[in-house]
Amino acid sequence: MELAFDILLILVACFWLGFTLVALLGFALMRSLPKARLPSRASLTVIVAVRDEVERIEGTIRRILAQEGIDLQLIVADDGSQDGSREILHALDAAEARLEVIEIDELPAGWIGKCHACHLAASRARHDWLLFTDADTWMRSDLLTRAVAEAERLEVDQLCLVPGLAGTSFVGRILALTMVLGLYKLAIGINLHRPASYTGFGSFNLIRRRAYEAAGGHETLRMEVLEDIRLGEQLKRAGFQSHLGHAQEDFEVKWLTDFWSFFRVLEKNYFALLNYRIGLLILQQLSCHLLWTLAILGPFFFGLPGMLAGIGLASMALPAALTAPLYSWTLLPALFTPLAVPITMWGLLHSAYSMLSKGGVRWRGRFYPMAELRRS
């Protein structure tokens, strides 16, 4: 029995060391956006879906319109804002010919609001590339021309970039780094162009228009909470290639700021990553908590095999430490990432409990029943 438990602890050590090695490989494959501005002949339509974003919408729009060196069209779909966002957009629209504002007052049945807004905006796009981005995204003035040039250099049809984070607390930084480590596994498959690997980022989802149209666009994603990721899946199924990169110095979003915001921002979509499957949720929770608990207790109670398990868990701080400078953060939050693993699992539990107890998800002021989300 003791031998079997020692073997289990060694397997735990191998799991966490394997996680670290995968993260290191993903980090190596996921490069930062080049700083040099390469010549680009492409044109770009930026699409922003807005609903009650009065706090940052004007700054976002002005920064997009200030982009240099690119033929730009900006389409903003206002999805029934009631907080003053629409009035700000009216004023900006009157002063800028490159800006088009679509006002949406009613949502058709069978659509999620953001998907419908993106679909309408994309139908009016006239340029070679589409960028789907969020209303709280602030960009450097040369980001878009560099991003399009990089996508063309890589000969890919989708380019997703990881943003910087504004206003993060110390705990927020720990949780953000922990989540990025999980992203590195995806980066391996995506950047090596493996057929089953895909992703999407709501803050920066750059897609060739012909690829978007060939993959079915948002028309096929009417009730998708994870519309950005599912759009990446549609592109991959249609045979198009993607790339995932870092761009923390080039644009930022106000997203994960502290401990409680982690649960708020993931509430609507974390459970959707499992396709709302309760059995998979239970399996993931039990296995992850067991692996983490054995690694935490191992060095104190289980001799050398337990020490190896603890070292394996601690090793995940290494790729986190390599990632922290990309955000201009110190290395200190990276050292705490091994302790944050169960919090990411609690976030998943919170998302599942919230959606199941409410019978659906409330997003941007609208309620979407679980039955409809499951059918999609």
Q: What is the pLDDT of residue 38?
A: 62
Query: Does 347 map to a domain?
Result: no
Query: What residues contact residue 128 under an 8 Å CB cut-off, 6+ apart?
Result: 42, 43, 44, 208, 209
Query: pLDDT of 3-43, one tens digit each?
Result: 888 899 999 999 999 999 999 999 999 999 998 766 666 78
Query: Does 298 map to a domain?
Result: no
How far apart are the C-alpha atoms of 291 and 316, rounded to whole Å? 14
Helix and strand totals (H; E) in the chain: 15, 12
Query: Does 19 map to a domain?
Result: no
Q: What is the pLDDT of residue 41?
A: 66
Query: Does 279 map to a domain?
Result: no
Q: What is the pLDDT of residue 142?
A: 92
Percent of the chain beyond pLDDT 90?
78
Token pair listed for 348: 């998943």
> Looking at the predicted structure, is the pLDDT value of residue 47 above 90?
yes
Query: Does 78 map to a domain?
Result: yes
> Looking at the predicted structure, is the pLDDT value of residue 152 above 80?
yes
Identify the CATH number of the domain in which residue 128 sits. Answer: 3.90.550.10
Token pair listed for 61: 């729009």
| Confidence bin at 268 (pLDDT 50/70/90) | confident
How far apart are the C-alpha atoms of 202 and 131, rounded to whole Å? 10
How far apart are the C-alpha atoms of 239 and 150, rounded to whole Å? 20
> Looking at the predicted structure, is the pLDDT value of residue 91 above 80?
yes
Q: What is the pLDDT of residue 40?
A: 61
Query: Does 331 map to a domain?
Result: no
Query: pLDDT of 242-251, one tens digit each?
Result: 999 999 999 9
Query: Does 296 map to a domain?
Result: no
List the end-to-end C-alpha distance of the chain, in Å, as a whole number. 47
Q: Mean pLDDT throughout 196-222?
A: 95
How far apart are the C-alpha atoms of 142 and 122, rounded to whole Å? 23
Q: How many domains does the chain have?
A: 1
Q: Mean pLDDT throughout 282-297?
A: 96
Q: Is the C-alpha dihedral spanning 224, 238, 217, 57 positive or negative?
A: positive
Strands 43-50 and 71-79: parallel
Q: Mean pLDDT throughout 217-243?
A: 95
Query: Does 171 map to a domain?
Result: yes
How far apart are the C-alpha atoms of 376 and 373, rounded to whole Å? 5
Identify the domain containing residue 234 by its residue range: 30-256
